[in-house]
Amino acid sequence: MMKLWGGRFTEGTDERAFAFNASLSYDRRLAAEDIRGSMAHAAMMKKQGILPAEDCDAIISGLASIAKDLAEGTLKIDMSQEDIHSFIESTLTERIGEPGRKLHTGRSRNDQVALDMRMYVRGEMSEVDAELRDLQKVLLDIMEANLETWMPGFTHLQKAQPVTLAHHIGAYFEMFTRDRGRIADALVRMNECPLGASALAGTTYPLDREYVAELLEFDRATGNSMDSVSDRDYCIESLSALAMIMMHLSRFCEEIILWNSDEYRFIEISDGFSTGSSIMPQKKNPDIAELVRGKTGRVYGDLMSMLVTMKGIPLAYNKDMQEDKERVFDALDTVHDCVTLFTAMMAEVRFRPERMERSAASGFTNATDVADYLVRAGVPFRDAHGIVGALVLTCIDRGISLDELPLEEYRKLSPAFNEDIYEAISLKTCVERRVTKGAPSPESMREAIARYRAMLAEEDAP
């Protein structure tokens, strides 16, 4: 097999060293980006008169035939090559002869791999964004259908105050909006083209770097050639955004698992997204949600691994940086799977409003509203808090809820209570009164949903 760098060597590479050094088994997934980048490089060399036009044309059509054959599966990747760059270049030379040997003019694998990886991460992160958007659409439909599905809101996993299912799901909608914002921010910074930095110090050929950047849909060429070949912070930024997405999904999964349990029974995950037990015939387990929660650790690991790999590398390129690929690929694959599976599972979840409402009606979720009732009658909030605490104790003693406590018991503690207390503390009133921006009332949530729908529609606009 022909090496790209054999000239200076008198002896062959140790077989074990070659295998250890090779990246083709995983960087083969950069084939399309590598070919696209090389085509742009050749087109630029033609425009600049660096190579004869007919050589550049031969290179471009040779690369196009390789891309086509790879896509159709008629060209197999030769695993004796070191990496995808070597494989494509040697295949090109096999096909078109001499001009193929000129492609690497003014270029190094250092700027080549920096380019390929940027294009790949850019494409994949946009894909993750689209997947999150699909998830948001599913969440919006659930919200719209559940504006008046009362349920307990929790703090410390203890029932706190009543909310609605729409409101609870809406919290996740906001989280995924910020996740998408992080992707958009990272995309802005990464969208600079490193090609032309060559090994580290640019080249003596009259490259037109901005032209290449434009051909490859970058905003501009990078500003410093040493930075261009040694910067992987766009990978770390992307991994960080991916880790955050997983953190949000994992919390959501934890709730789905709790809600699906026999203790809560707020929801039922469909058969298609549940699994059984090999020994206990009654079981229907939320494995998908558990796996998403579990895989979160792996994406965190990818982020940590990359941060540590990069921390001590002197400028410019060092082979340590080849380690970026498996970590970034793993995180991207994991997040793609988790977001799409989670979305499909949520689209089929059956909600049980009656169970949620019954749960909200117990556990004194309306205690704050009893206090607010007193405050409206002029009682200072601190006093009201004490009075309601005593009322709750009485209810606990008798095993009843605040709605079931007779009026005379209320009046024993404060003459400010009247018959209208029951209406004031019904679940419906408790939620409907919370009308400020972002609060759970159907009125506020309708406004939020309109905002969310408008946001998604704006993205659809041409």
Q: Tell me which stretch binds ligand ARG (CB under 6 A): 106-114, 273-281, 359-367, 450-458.
A: 106-114
Q: Which residues ranging from 62 to 101 are in contact with ligand ARG (CB under 6 A)?
A: 83
Nearest residue (CB) to ligand ARG, 37 versus 162: 37
Candidate residues 81, 110, 225, 359; the one interacting with ligand ARG per rule CB under 6 A: 110
Q: Where are the alpha helices (DSSP H) in 53-164?
A: 53-72, 84-96, 109-145
Nearest residue (CB) to ligand ARG, 132 versus 321: 321
In this structure, how many other beta carbons lie within 10 angstroms of the beta carbon of residue 29?
14
Active site annotation includes 277? yes
CA distances to 145, 248, 339 from 165, in Å: 9, 17, 21
Nearest residue (CB) to ligand ARG, 180 versus 325: 325
Our CA angle for 114, 119, 122, nearest 5°, is 120
Candidate residues 224, 305, 322, 368; the one interacting with ligand ARG per rule CB under 6 A: 322
Nearest residue (CB) to ligand ARG, 23 versus 238: 23
Q: Which residues ranging from 14 to 73 are in contact with ligand ARG (CB under 6 A)?
A: 23, 27
Q: Which residues ranging from 165 to 194 are in contact with ligand ARG (CB under 6 A)?
A: none
Please tell me whether residue 317 binds ligand ARG under the rule CB under 6 A: yes
Active site annotation includes 86? no
Please tell me whether residue 394 binds ligand ARG under the rule CB under 6 A: no
Distance CA 293, CA 24 (A): 31
Nearest residue (CB) to ligand ARG, 109 versus 168: 109
Min CB(87)–ligand ARG separation in Å: 11
Q: Is 102 left (phi over 0), alpha (psi -120 to 50) or beta?
A: alpha
Dig out the tokens for 55 from the structure: 């050589």
Q: How far apart are the first and last CA of the chain?
A: 50
User: Residue 280 burial (CB < 10 Å; 0-12/13-18/19+)?
Assistant: exposed
Q: Tell me which stretch binds ligand ARG (CB under 6 A): 108-116, 256-264, 377-385, 447-455.
A: 108-116
Dig out the tokens for 220 from the structure: 């501009």
Distance CA 397, CA 223 (A): 73
Please tell me whether residue 109 binds ligand ARG under the rule CB under 6 A: yes
Please tell me whether residue 306 binds ligand ARG under the rule CB under 6 A: no
Distance CA 356, CA 445 (A): 18
Dig out the tokens for 311 from the structure: 């921390």
Distance CA 325, CA 306 (A): 10
Please tell me whether residue 159 binds ligand ARG under the rule CB under 6 A: no
Q: Which residue in the list 277, 278, 385, 401 is annotated as catalytic?
A: 277
Dig out the tokens for 333 from the structure: 């694959």
CB hemisphere CA count around 35 (13 angstroms): 21
Nearest residue (CB) to ligand ARG, 8 versus 319: 319
Please tell me whether residue 321 binds ligand ARG under the rule CB under 6 A: yes
* Active site members: 156, 277
**Footprint on this chain of ligand ARG (rule: CB under 6 A):** 23, 27, 83, 109-110, 113, 317, 319, 321-322
